[in-house]
Amino acid sequence: MNTSYYMHYKELLIDNQKGVMNLLYNSINSNIEQTVDREKVFEELIGLNLRTVAIAAKNKLDPDYNNIDNNELKKLAKELGVDEITLFAKTNDDIIGVRSSDPKEINVSSKGWDTIYVAFHQLFKLQEVNVGMGQTLPNYWSCPIDTSTTNQSEINKWGYYYDGTTNYIINPFLHKKNFQDYQEITRIEEAIQRLMKGNSPTILEVSILNSNTFLGRVLPGNNPTPSSWFSEREVFFGSYQLRDPREKEYASLSMVNDEMVFYIAEVNGKSVMKSFAPIPTDYLKYNPSGSVPLIQITSDYTEINKLLNKQLMNTVWFMGVCTLVALAIMGSILWIFKRNKKLALLNVQDAYVGNIEMLFQSVREQRHDFINHIQTIHAFLTLKRYDDLQKYTNSLVGEIRIINDLININDPALIALMQAKLTQAESLHILCEYEFKHMDQLKLSPIKATDVVKILSNLIDNAFDATMELKAEDRNVKVIGDVVNNQFRFTIRNTGPTIPEKWLEHIFESGFSSKTNGRNSGLGLHIVKQLIIRYKGTIQVKSSKGITEFVITLSLF
């Protein structure tokens, strides 16, 4: 027991740690998704603005770049409200910057830009740009914000326009000063730091990783993206210093299974729990080349070990004290037993007689329930509903199946009962209606399903019996169930003779029956009352104007 409790406590602590890490992952992922959505709208608006600027520039510039001066572009960029304008033109085997307001852009080759180079060729062919990323509009394409090739400290937003009326592509673009400014816009770094502070000292590190760079994947392409670009950084946000030899194995596993994975590792002599999880987003802002980023979380596993050691010591002391107390109690019991052997024998005899009486009472109660089952089975056989009979008998032996989604109840036993009672009502020409709400929240862990079936079965049977004194068209029974505030509340309402008020306080007594046909033992409502008392529930009865209603409330705790 001691070992089992220790292992159980350890699993609880680990599960709790995983739960905290999972909450962090969900929070960061949610923040990223919101940020990405905002950035996407923001980038598209900038892209539209750059296209407008490019069209305005085309109308002001000579269609031949040979007749354009760099100073003219510098003046035009300032006039149109962009940082720079570059003109790209074809050469024998390249597409280069032939004119620009930025001297660093002049003669820059686009051959090493891979995706952008492909987009340039599609623009020159007056084709719709289709490279798997960026913003495509008529005669225009804008790539995502990324690092500038000519200035590694800058992050730019570019737009490219060509409609065939010029011998060059017009490229207006805007600067973002550096990585830090860009991260401040996204607010992701701030969110990571806030979450780490809120979970200190348990959470040691949180980072968002470029899965391709982290796992050393080389994407196919004639001119791969330079490693210095923002989109190719290994750590997009946060920090990742606590590394271990197995990290890539588990990171790959999380990518393959598309789920969060956990493992224990030793890093710098410290025991840590690490997790990797991919970011599920359709808009791959931080890796336009393909694979989604990873969220890495590292927590302090030594805290769990400390708690386990403390709990182990407490358990050892507790078990030691309990052992001493148990020995003392056993010695006292043995002494009392020897001294009062004769009295104990008499008590055993009395208890035996009482148990025999309880046994007979239990048999009578079981017989009453057994008759209900036999009647239902007989009804199925009479109606030759063998499929329904098989389903009902399967429910009696524990092979419960949900039948055709008849009722949205989160308990197979109740589904089987309602199916049986609906069939029985049909055979008795009784209109049996039901109304269930929030039954998907039903959890009967504290209440045995068999006891709930007994309660409902007895009440419904009583309702059926009461309606049988009426004409077929007046026989109505309605079962209402609801789960509210962790309480299971159900009502059985039926037409039939009104129960006299003087009988209402006696109907739950054993052997009492208001029926004169001799078929009832008076045990049904007594069984119901005993079960209600056992589970500390309530039962209310109302009967007036030919309508009788039983309302039962049971706590789900």
Q: Could you tell me the CATH number of the domain that includes residue 195?
A: 3.30.450.20
How far, in Å, CA of 194 to CA of 459, rounded? 57
Q: What is the pLDDT of residues 214-248, one digit of tens each?
A: 887 765 555 455 555 666 778 888 889 999 999 99
Domain count for the chain: 3
Backbone angles phi, psi at 428, to 5 degrees: -95, 5
First vs last C-alpha separation in the chain:
26
Q: What is the pLDDT of residues 466-503, one digit of tens each?
A: 999 899 999 999 999 998 888 889 999 999 998 888 88
Asked if residue 357 has pLDDT above 50, the reply is no
More confident residue, 171 or 369: 171
| 538-544: strand order across its sheet | 431-437, 476-484, 487-495, 547-555, 538-544
Asked if residue 407 has pLDDT above 70, the reply is no
Based on the domain organization, do 95 and 48 belong to the same domain?
Answer: yes
Based on the domain organization, do 465 and 500 belong to the same domain?
Answer: yes
Q: Is residue 28 part of a domain?
A: no
Based on the domain organization, do 279 and 416 belong to the same domain?
Answer: no
By residue range, what is the domain housing residue 229? Answer: 184-305
Q: Is residue 198 part of a domain?
A: yes
Q: Is residue 392 part of a domain?
A: yes
Neighbour-count burial of 108, counting CB atoms closer than 10 A to its CB (0-12 exposed, 13-18 middle, 19+ buried): middle
Residue 532 near residue 538 (C-beta atoms within 8 A): yes
Based on the domain organization, do 551 and 430 belong to the same domain?
Answer: yes
Of all residues in the chain, the percent with pLDDT exceeding 70 is 78
Neighbours of 503 (CB within 10 A): 12
Q: Is residue 346 part of a domain?
A: no
Domain end among 162, 182, 202:
182
Asked if residue 182 has pLDDT above 70, the reply is no
Residue type, 530: Q
Based on the domain organization, do 538 and 392 belong to the same domain?
Answer: yes
CA distances from 545 to 192, 497, 549 (A): 67, 8, 11
Asked if residue 264 has pLDDT above 80, the reply is yes
Based on the domain organization, do 83 and 130 belong to the same domain?
Answer: yes
Asked if residue 103 has pLDDT above 70, the reply is yes
Q: Is residue 311 part of a domain?
A: no
Domain end among 305, 325, 348:
305
Q: What CATH number has the domain bearing residue 409? A: 3.30.565.10
More confident residue, 292 or 125: 125
Based on the domain organization, do 440 and 363 belong to the same domain?
Answer: yes
Based on the domain organization, do 422 and 475 belong to the same domain?
Answer: yes
Mean pLDDT value across residues 288-306: 77
Q: Is residue 334 part of a domain?
A: no
Based on the domain organization, do 206 and 146 belong to the same domain?
Answer: no
Average pLDDT, the chain: 79
Residue 400 near residue 449 (C-beta atoms within 8 A): no
Based on the domain organization, do 84 and 122 belong to the same domain?
Answer: yes
Helix, strand, or coil here: 472? Answer: helix
Based on the domain organization, do 159 and 47 belong to the same domain?
Answer: yes
Q: Is residue 27 part of a domain?
A: no
Of 37-46, 236-245, 250-259, 338-347, least confident by mean pLDDT is 338-347
Beta-carbon contacts of 56 under 8 Å, excluding residues fewer than 6 positions away, are: 80
Q: Is residue 376 part of a domain?
A: yes
Adjacent-strand bridge partners of 146: 156
Mean pLDDT value across residues 257-282: 86
Q: What CATH number has the domain bearing residue 141? A: 3.30.450
Based on the domain organization, do 255 and 362 belong to the same domain?
Answer: no
Domain end among 284, 305, 326:
305
Neighbour-count burial of 349, counting CB atoms closer than 10 A to its CB (0-12 exposed, 13-18 middle, 19+ buried): exposed
**pLDDT number for residue 368:** 60
* Full DSSP string of 177-238: --HHHHHHHH-HHHHHHHHHHHTTTTEEEEEEE-HHHHTT-----SSPPPTTSGGG-SEEEE
